[in-house]
Structure formats: C-alpha cells, structure tokens
Amino acid sequence: MGPLLLSRGVVDRSAALRGDEEWLRRVWADEATRVLLVHEGETLVRSRGAEASLALMSPAQAPEGPRYLLGVDAGGVPYFAVKAPFGSGAPAPDAYGAPMGLRQAGALLDDRDAGLFVYAVALEAWHAGHEHCPRCGSRTEIASSGHMRICPGDGSQHFPRVDPAVIMLVRDDDDRVLLARGPQWPQGRMSVLAGFVEPGESLEQAVLREVLEEVGVVAADPRYMGSQPWPFPRSLMLGFFARALTTELRPDADEIAEARWWTRDELGAAVRSGELGLPSQVSIARRLIETWYGSRIDGD
Ligand SMILES: [Zn+2]
C-alpha cells in the first residue's frame, strides 16, 4: 500500500544550514529558491482533478513573516515556509491556488509536496503554542531559521516538540476488529483506539493501557506497524496491532460512545451501504484498518 501519506517527505532537512547566515542571505536573494505560505494549518494548493501541487513562489513574491528553512532538495533548490496570511503578498493569491489543509491535500500531493506541507504545518503549530518561556514567562524569539526559540530573559533554548500518541488496531482470535466511536463523532463513524503516551511509559505499555481504559479489553502482543506526523497540533502517531485476550466490551463513557467487533464481511458491507464511515485516507487509522482488511476499502 506504499508509505503512509504524511510520511513521504524527500527533501533533505539540511539542519547544518539553519544557522549559516551567509548562505541564508544568498539563497533568499535567489529567485530559484522556493517558498510556500503557511497560515493556520493551510497552504495554497493548485488542484488538477485528482492531483495537486503546492503553489510555490520566489522569495521576492513572498510576504513578510516568520521564516522556516525546510531543507534543500537533490537538485540544490532550497525550500522555505513563510507564516503569513494568504493575499498579503503579491501577486494575488488566486494566481497561485486555493487554501487547503493537510487532511484534504495530504492524499493529493506528491511525495515532495506532502513532506514540505506537513513539515511547515508542524513548525507553525509549534511556534503558535510556544511563544513564552516555560521557565520565566518572557516572550521567546524565533531563531535557527525557525527551528528554535530563545528566551531573552534567561537565555534558555527551546526546540520543537512532538507528542507521541499510540494508535492501535485490536483484533480477537476470530480475527474480528475492534472499532469505536468517540462521544463527539457523528453516528456511524468509527475508528481504532488511540491515546497519548504518558510520562514514564513505553509505547507498548501505552497501547495495552489505552485498550484496557477505553473498552475494558485485556490486550497483548503489541506489534509496531509504522508512524506518521499528525500536527494537529503536534502529535506523532505510532501505529500498532495488538491481540485481544478478552472480548467483552465495557466502554469508558467519557471517551467512548459505542464500540463493537467487526468481521471483514460485516465491515465491508457496512462501508458499502453507508452505515459505517471510516477515518480519512490520510490517517494512520485508515491504513491499520485496510492492512487488517487486506485491501483498500472504497468509500469514505
Ligand atoms: Zn525565560
């Protein structure tokens, strides 16, 4: 089924260049340098049917705003993100594309563009949530081409954070899959279980704890599947399969509105009839379910 859709980046991150002021000045003056705008999780995307590409611009066309170096590709082209509202640069944004979020564009973009977009969104979200020093409360300043914030009060350095979250497909010994619906979700939409890793806990322990907490099922044998960034605002989703040792469901009412076991036939029929909606194509949840199912599942 190929790589996870938000784990496809191919541009070298070029960390050593983030502090190279001379190089940064030179490439910012070069019109071959490519810039994407990012604003509140969206960027400008040009769509052509089922395909799409980022609407990239030269530094001269980019509006003022915080600048993040995203890396340099194999052809030597540097890529930056600039955080700025669309339409604040020149020419008009409709010459470039339409604002789109990762959930929508993630499946349409090619490897390079999907990787640049998810990286820019993740950095933007980190900056938005870390404007003040956790030690002294001073307002921190952006540094290292957007990869660090420095506190002018005490000189402390702060680096982008990700929150590890486990997401797990639980199956029983009859090879049925466990899906559940959160209290905020619409009727008919279900997914696999997920939760944040807690301090002092391994990924495997988090998998088994979350399954027990959320639906009362004792699980075992967590097996890693893969990971992808989920910058809403800063999760790293770590996908697992696990085996249920018990099958009685006792959902935690605060977290789970409904949970049930599905056979392949039941799940396929329910999706086809529209009775069951699955998580989006860009999610690792969808990939876990399709891996268990044995093929892509059509329908949303
Ligand atoms: Zn401070």
Q: Dump pLDDT digits (tens) for 101-117.
A: 999 999 999 999 999 99
Query: 120 CA to middle of ligand 1, Å?
Result: 25
The CATH number assigned to the domain with range 15-128 reads: 3.90.79
Query: Which residue ranges make up each domain of the chain?
Result: 15-128, 129-161, 163-293
Residue 164, CA atoms < 13 Å, CB-side half-sphere: 17
What distance in angstroms lies between residue 163's CA and the mean position of ligand 1's atoms?
A: 22
> How far apart (Å, rounded) are the C-alpha atoms in residues 56 and 33?
9
Rounded to two decimals, the pTM is: 0.93
CA 158 / ligand 1 centre spacing (Å): 10
Residue 69 pairs in a beta bridge with 80
Determine the distance separating the centroid of ligand 1 and the alpha carbon of 134, expressed in angstroms. Answer: 7
Give me the pLDDT at residue 95, please: 54
pLDDT band at 62 (very low <50, low <70, confident <90, very high): very high
Distance 68 CA to ligand 1 centre (A): 22
pLDDT band at 292 (very low <50, low <70, confident <90, very high): very high
Distance CA 244, CA 55 (A): 46
Hey, what CATH class is 163-293 in? alpha beta
Distance 153 CA to ligand 1 centre (A): 5
132: CA distance to ligand 1 center in Å?
Answer: 8
Closest to 152 measured CA to CA, from 144, 142, 140: 140
Q: Which pLDDT does position 291 carry in this prediction?
A: 97
Separation of 148 CA from ligand 1 center, angstroms? 14
How far apart are the CA of 141 and the centre of ligand 1, in A? 10
Sheet bearing 42-48, strands edge to edge: 51-54, 42-48, 98-101
* 131, two tokens: 């404007």
Beta strand 235-244 with 219-230 is: antiparallel
Same fold, 15-128 and 163-293: yes
**Gap from CA of 78 to ligand 1 centroid (Å):** 32
Is 262 within 8 Å of 293 (Cβ atoms)? no
